């Protein structure tokens, strides 16, 4: 069995994702981790420290927890972009459209977060964006010259976050699928332009 501290972090990660930060109580985190409310304070002096540990866990685990499952069997870098989006669609379907991106939900739930919390949220978004940017870098020869791959990576993330938000709120995957179709249309146009550009590329 994992260490008590680990069990507490995992329990908090689950509860924050499913019910939010403010709604989750220290007692619930303890119960979920088979520990007592008071014991939580041996490892974490404040509730916010648990949140920081959870955000670190997401950040450190992005490969193993998110990218690896989403990209299993998908080698093409452009298809990886859409495989990641498809992974989120799967999470929506699994949950009956109750799923929300844990980082996005925390980012909007906490209106005036402590700077250290806000920076860890931003670091998680940054790691996600970089993963997409790496895909676009791999596929650079198939994309138009002069394309700003950073802009496009951010655009993929805003699409995912907005699409999950709308799907969750309407309890339907329809808006998610609509946004992804529109993004795919954009990518198709980018790939088509690059393929007719031809000639020397560097």
Partner DNA sequence: GTCTATAACCCGATAGAC
Partner DNA sequence: GTCTATCGGGTTATAGAC
Binding residues for DNA (CB under 7 A): 4, 24-27, 35-39, 41-42, 45-48
Indicate which of its own copies, DNA, none lies near residue 98 (CB less than 5 to 8 Å, by partner kind): its own copies
Q: Which does 41 bind (CB under 5 to 8 A by kind): its own copies, DNA, none?
A: DNA
Query: Which of DNA, its own copies, none has residue 47 at its interface (CB below 5 to 8 Å by kind)?
Result: DNA
Question: What length does the chain have?
Answer: 202
From 190, 164, 189, select the one nearest 177 (Cα to Cα): 164
Interface positions with its own copies (CB under 8 A): 18-20, 22-23, 98, 100, 104-105, 107-112, 118, 121-122, 125, 148, 150-152, 154-155, 157-163, 165-166, 168-171, 175, 178-179, 181-183, 185-186, 189, 193
Q: Which of 85, 113, 120, 117 is nearest to 101 (CA)?
A: 85
Closer of 51 and 107 to DNA (Cβ)? 51
4 binds, among its own copies, DNA, none (CB under 5 to 8 A by kind): DNA
Which among DNA, its own copies, none contacts residue 102 (Cβ within 5 to 8 A by kind)? none
Q: Is the dihedral of CA 31, 105, 60, 52 positive or negative?
A: negative
3-state secondary structure of 61: coil
Q: For residues 106 and 112, give the distance between their C-alpha atoms in angstroms, rounded to a whole number.
A: 11
- Of 2 and 98, which CB lies nearer to its own copies in the complex structure? 98
Q: Cβ of residue 84: shortest distance to its own copies, in angstroms?
A: 14
- 3-state SS, one letter per residue, for 22-58: CCCCHHHHHHHCCCCHHHHHHHCCCHHHHHHHHHHHH
In the numeric block, which tokens belong to residue 141? 């020869």
Q: Which is nearer to its own copies, 119 or 138 (CB)?
A: 119
Which bin fits 200, alpha (ψ -120 to 50), beta or left (φ > 0)? beta
């Amino acid at each position: 069995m994992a260490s008590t501290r680990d069990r507490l972090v995992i329990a908090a990660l689950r509860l924050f994702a499913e019910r939010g930060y403010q709604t989750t109580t220290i007692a619930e985190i303890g119960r979920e981790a088979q520990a007592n409310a008071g014991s939580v304070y041996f490892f974490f002096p404040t509730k916010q420290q648990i949140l920081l540990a959870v955000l670190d866990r997401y950040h450190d685990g992005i490969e193993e927890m998110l990218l690896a499952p989403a990209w299993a069997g998908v080698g093409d870098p452009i298809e990886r972009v859409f495989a990641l989006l498809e992974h989120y669609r799967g999470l929506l379907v699994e949950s009956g459209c109750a799923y929300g991106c844990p980082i996005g939900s925390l980012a909007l739930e906490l209106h005036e977060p402590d700077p250290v919390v806000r920076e860890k949220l931003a670091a998680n978004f940054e790691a996600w964006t970089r993963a997409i940017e790496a895909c676009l870098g791999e596929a650079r020869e198939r994309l138009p010259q002069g394309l700003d791959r950073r802009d496009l990576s951010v655009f993929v993330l805003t699409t995912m976050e907005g699409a999950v938000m709308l799907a969750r709120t309407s309890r339907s995957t329809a808006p998610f699928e609509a946004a992804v179709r529109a993004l795919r249309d954009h990518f198709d146009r980018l790939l088509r332009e690059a393929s007719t550009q031809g000639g020397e590329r560097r």
